[in-house]
């Protein structure tokens, strides 16, 4: 019987490939935005993933795909180990995706790989036809999309950002995508009427925890999709304040991405911001800025999830709609 051996790799190993907007913590890849994570290939019959300790009021959830097979794991301290075992002793692909929100970062410390002749190999980087950046609030993050319509509170176990419209849209287009989104946040103010870390502010951050600046030269999207305005109007914003903030935000995005198609998609839950968004777009007068009206979940059957948010059925419909619109606009 062959002796089972193991090798250890660091999260900073060159064979570990990261995706989504992320940052570094002591040289290790750190993830706090939804749908960010890492991937690598290995040879062996098992792997143990390790993380740095963190403190959070919420339990985080991550999706781990091994050879495309999905498993969901909870992390609440970072001291947990994710163990994948019983694999055939051969080459495998592994991908970890953060699928819930939280201010604190998940820092990937490294992995132990087991097998007769364990090895780590670079992830296979497939070519992407386009890059998309999604900016927004709970609708982009997938708040409550797994919850029943009767749920009135936020629970991370009822959230899966890979089943929200943005991730679905990117998947349908085969796109490389970044997702900067925080539930409750707006363009001028947040849902509680308070001005703090609004979407235009955190758009410039590499990490929502540290608020360190993002290097915009490191990744440039072909398309930017904004889905925002709902929280501003929940917080009783004035049309004038929202219009001015929205126009400034569009100018900020254009300054970072001179050639990107910018789409303001709105209407999944309410329609109050439509006039102000239209005014802001007219004021900016940019031929590559579009307003995409979305049908509300309230106009459809069985699309209500937790705490007045859309469920997965609603997200699938909107994801397909936005993907089709992007294909048409870009002539794909």
Closest CA to 211 of 224, 222, 196: 196
**CATH says 5-121 is which class?**
mainly beta
The pLDDT, as a whole number, for residue 5 is 79
Residues of the chain with CATH 3.40.50.1110: 131-330
DSSP 105: P
Task: CATH 2.60.120.260 in the chain: give the residue spans.
Answer: 5-121
Interatomic CA distance for residues 184 and 192, integer angstroms: 8
For 131-145, how does the pLDDT look when each residue is reduced to its tens digit (9 = 90+)? 999 999 999 999 999
As a whole number, mean pLDDT of residues 216-231 equals 98
Q: Dihedrals φ, ψ of 163, to 5°? A: -115, 20
Please report the pLDDT score of residue 125 as a whole number: 79
- Homologous superfamily of 131-330: SGNH hydrolase (3.40.50.1110)
pLDDT 10s digits, 40-69: 999 999 999 999 999 999 899 999 999 999
Residue 140 and residue 242: Cα distance in Å, rounded? 20
Number of other CB atoms surrounding residue 216 within 10 Å: 12
Would you state the pLDDT for residue 227?
98
Q: What is the pLDDT of residue 3?
A: 56
Task: For 265-309, write each residue's pLDDT tens digit.
Answer: 999 999 999 999 999 999 999 999 999 999 999 999 999 999 999
The helix (run of H) or strand (run of E) holding residue 99 is: none
Q: Please state the pTM of the whole predicted model.
A: 0.96
Question: For 151, which DSSP code?
Answer: -
Compute the Cα dihedral for 163, 157, 33, 83 and give only its sign. negative
Confidence of residue 2 (pLDDT cuts 50, 70, 90): low
Report strand pairing: 37-44 vs 90-98.
Answer: antiparallel
Give yes or no for residue 1 having a pLDDT over 50.
no
Average pLDDT (197-220) is: 97
CA 100 to each of CA 107, 161, 294, 325: distance values in angstroms, whole numbers, following the listed order: 15, 6, 24, 27
Q: Give me the pLDDT at residue 123, please.
A: 78
Between CA 120 and CA 13 the distance in angstroms is 9
What pLDDT does residue 301 have?
95
Alpha-carbon distance of 304 to 269, in angstroms, equals 10
pLDDT at 329: 97
pLDDT in tens, 70-129: 999 999 999 999 999 999 999 999 999 999 999 999 999 999 999 999 999 987 777 899
The percentage of residues in the chain with a pLDDT greater than 90, rounded to a whole number, is 95
Question: Once rounded to an integer, what is the mean pLDDT over residues 180-187?
Answer: 98
- Dihedral sign, Cα of residue 221, residue 162, residue 168, residue 252: negative
């Amino acid at each position: 019987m062959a002796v089972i051996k193991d090798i250890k790799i660091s999260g900073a190993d060159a064979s570990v490939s990261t995706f989504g907007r992320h940052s570094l913590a002591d040289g290790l890849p750190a993830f706090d935005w939804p749908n960010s994570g890492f991937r690598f290939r290995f040879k062996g019959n098992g792997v143990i993933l390790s993380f740095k300790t963190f403190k959070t009021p919420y339990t985080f959830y991550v999706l781990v795909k091994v050879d495309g097979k999905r498993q969901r794991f909870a992390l609440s301290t970072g001291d947990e180990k994710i163990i994948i075992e019983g694999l055939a002793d051969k080459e495998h692909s592994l991908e970890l995706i953060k699928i819930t929100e939280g201010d604190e970062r998940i820092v990937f410390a490294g992995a132990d790989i087991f097998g007769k002749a364990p090895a780590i190999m670079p992830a296979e980087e497939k070519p992407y036809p386009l890059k998309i950046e999604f900016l927004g609030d709970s609708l982009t993050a997938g708040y409550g999309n797994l919850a029943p319509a009767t749920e009135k509170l936020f629970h991370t176990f009822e959230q899966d950002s890979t089943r929200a419209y943005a991730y679905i849209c990117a998947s349908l287009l085969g796109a490389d995508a970044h997702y900067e989104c925080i539930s409750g946040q707006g363009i001028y103010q947040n849902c509680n009427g308070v001005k703090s870390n609004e979407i235009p502010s955190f758009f410039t951050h590499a990490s929502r925890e540290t608020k360190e600046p993002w290097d915009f030269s490191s990744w440039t999207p072909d398309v930017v999709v904004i889905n925002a305005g709902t929280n501003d109007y929940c917080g009783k914003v004035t049309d004038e304040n929202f219009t001015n903030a929205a126009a400034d935000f569009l100018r900020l995005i254009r300054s970072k991405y001179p050639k990107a198609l910018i789409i303001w998609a709105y209407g999944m839950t309410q329609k109050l911001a439509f006039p102000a968004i239209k005014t802001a777009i007219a004021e900016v007068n940019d031929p590559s800025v579009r307003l995409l009206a979305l049908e509300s979940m309230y106009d459809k059957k069985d699309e209500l999830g937790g705490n007045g948010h859309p469920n997965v059925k609603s997200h699938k419909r909107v994801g397909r709609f936005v993907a089709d619109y992007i294909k048409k606009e870009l002539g794909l």
